[in-house]
Amino acid sequence: MRTSKNELSEKEKELVKYLMADCHSTGDIQRKLKRLFAGTIEQMLEVEMEEHLGYEKHSSAGINTGNSRNGYGTKTIISDYGECEIAVPRDRNGEFEPKIIEKRQTRTDEIEQKIMAMYAKGMSQRDIEDTLREIYGSEISQGMISKITDRILPEVNEWQNRPLDSIYPVIFFDGIVFNSRKDNKIISKCVYSVLGINMEGQKEILGTWISENESASFYASICSDLKNRGVTDIFIACHDNLTGLNDAIKSIFPKTKNQLCIVHQVRNSCKFVPYKDRKAVCADLRKIYSAVNLDDAEYAKEEFREKWDKKYPNILKAWDKNWNELTTIFEYPQEIRRIIYTTNSVESYHRMVRKFTKSKAIFPTDDSIRKVIYMSATEISKKWTVPVQGWGLAYSQFAIFFEGRFTA
């Protein structure tokens, strides 16, 4: 025989009977629950006052104790049931500190958790304000919402400065640009993210750093930060040829190999190629980066030079300039090449961050950027529960090629 999934105790059945009495709609039930909620809070405050004073209400035990009840104050609180007014007991000495609803607290923890959840999902402060007004009939200003979300800043700082693993086989660098206010002007700020593949093959955001300008010193500070937080070795660093990043990595992690993103290199090569030639150019470039080994790649590059150099001389100039960092992939088998040939992992992460932040056109402060990036990263990383594709074979190859630096 089937039974209800929501089997009730006897006490719960009594409560249901109370709610059913004189109720003709879900709205009637909601209003009764609201009164019941307020009444329960008031009763709990009464109990707290008795514990504070050490005697029950109207008890003669309170005579000459030096403190006594002093009537009630009123407070409007916002909860899942909307706004409700409660009576808060007071003591004559003003020493009563309620726990269930603290002094100056006007919202239940559940409401603040909902605000944080809406903010994490990318809703703007204005959208959150409108949503709370529509659902709960309550007014919480954008300024108050900002103060509530600011409470997460210590957690953001703790996350940014947390200890890291000592070894990361692969890390990816990439940046995402946001508009921010500074001295009453709108400026662009780039948030640089470092995504690591740890020894278990799982993706992990190692941190984010905000800057207005790219520079070798800024990238060196990122690498120094990683080292100070416990990273002792990185096997391969993948990035989009950011100016000064190669040198910054080598100065802090001299054994690390650099691999430029092949996809970006091809994209930049075809940027000024007319549509009629683009497909053929891309096909011939593919022969270079998909070659079996470095010798074949160099041969394919010279074939490309003979065919296209007169028409598009700038393409191979860029490939020649970056050749050493573009061809790191040929030092390793396919299992590793598949992971390091592109920075798509971190770019995909930034695309998801953009979805969370699309409603926020301008950020007022760097802290507001840090908050939303941290909350976005937390939400996104919940889905990173399995190793990257093919990690089992790649792990074995890393153990061979980085023997002596590799620890299981």
In this structure, is residue 322 part of a structural domain? yes
Q: Both 221 and 292 in a single domain? A: yes
Q: Both 198 and 241 in a single domain? A: yes
Q: Both 209 and 147 in a single domain? A: no
Q: Both 39 and 168 in a single domain? A: no
Dihedral sign for Cα 203, 346, 288, 233, please: negative
Nearest 5 degrees, angle CA 212-CA 217-CA 220?
Answer: 110
Nearest 5 degrees, angle CA 272-CA 276-CA 280?
Answer: 85
Identify the pLDDT of residue 1: 43
In this structure, is residue 3 part of a structural domain? no
Question: Six-digit token pair at 360?
Answer: 């926020």
Is the pLDDT reported for residue 197 higher than 70? yes
Pairing of strands 257-260, 233-239: parallel
Q: What percent of the chain has pLDDT above 70?
A: 75
Q: Both 130 and 191 in a single domain? A: no
Which among 7, 30, 21, 27 has a CA at the least distance from the CA of 80? Answer: 30
Q: Both 36 and 133 in a single domain? A: no
CA 73 to each of CA 76, 95, 103, 107: distance values in angstroms, whole numbers, following the listed order: 10, 14, 11, 17
Boundary-marking domain end, from 131, 151, 171: 151
Q: Both 139 and 278 in a single domain? A: no
In this structure, is residue 61 part of a structural domain? no
Which of helix, strand or coil describes residue 167? strand
CA 196 to each of CA 14, 97, 170, 276, 282: distance values in angstroms, whole numbers, following the listed order: 55, 47, 6, 39, 29
Q: Which domain holds residue 237?
A: 158-401
Identify the pLDDT of residue 138: 58
Total structural domains in the chain? 3
Cα separation, 189 vs 204, in Å, equals: 23
Q: What is the pLDDT of residues 203-240, one digit of tens each?
A: 999 999 998 777 788 899 999 999 999 999 999 999 98
Q: Which residue has better confidence, 93 or 204?
A: 204
The region of weakest confidence among 63-67, 154-158, 267-271 is 63-67
Q: Both 72 and 140 in a single domain? A: no
In this structure, is residue 206 part of a structural domain? yes
- What's the whole-model pTM score? 0.71
Buried b (16+ CB within 10 A) or exposed e, 238-275: bbbbbeebbebbbebbeebbbbbbbebbbeebbeebee
Q: Both 99 and 111 in a single domain? A: no
The region of weakest confidence among 4-8, 201-205, 368-372, 400-404 is 4-8
In this structure, is residue 394 part of a structural domain? yes
Which of helix, strand or coil describes residue 209? strand
Quick one: pLDDT band at residue 26, thresholds 50, 70, 90?
low
Q: How many CB atoms lie within 10 A of CB 288?
A: 23
Q: Both 94 and 172 in a single domain? A: no
Contact 384, 346 (CB under 8 A): no
Contact 176, 350 (CB under 8 A): yes
Cα separation, 158 vs 167, in Å, equals: 21
- Residue 8, phi-psi category: left (phi > 0), alpha (psi -120 to 50), beta (remainder): beta
Q: What mean pLDDT value characterizes the chain? A: 82
Dihedral sign for Cα 396, 400, 406, 408, please: positive
Q: What is the pLDDT of residues 107-153, one digit of tens each?
A: 555 656 666 677 666 666 677 677 666 655 556 666 666 776 777 78
In this structure, is residue 217 part of a structural domain? yes
Cα separation, 45 vs 343, in Å, equals: 57
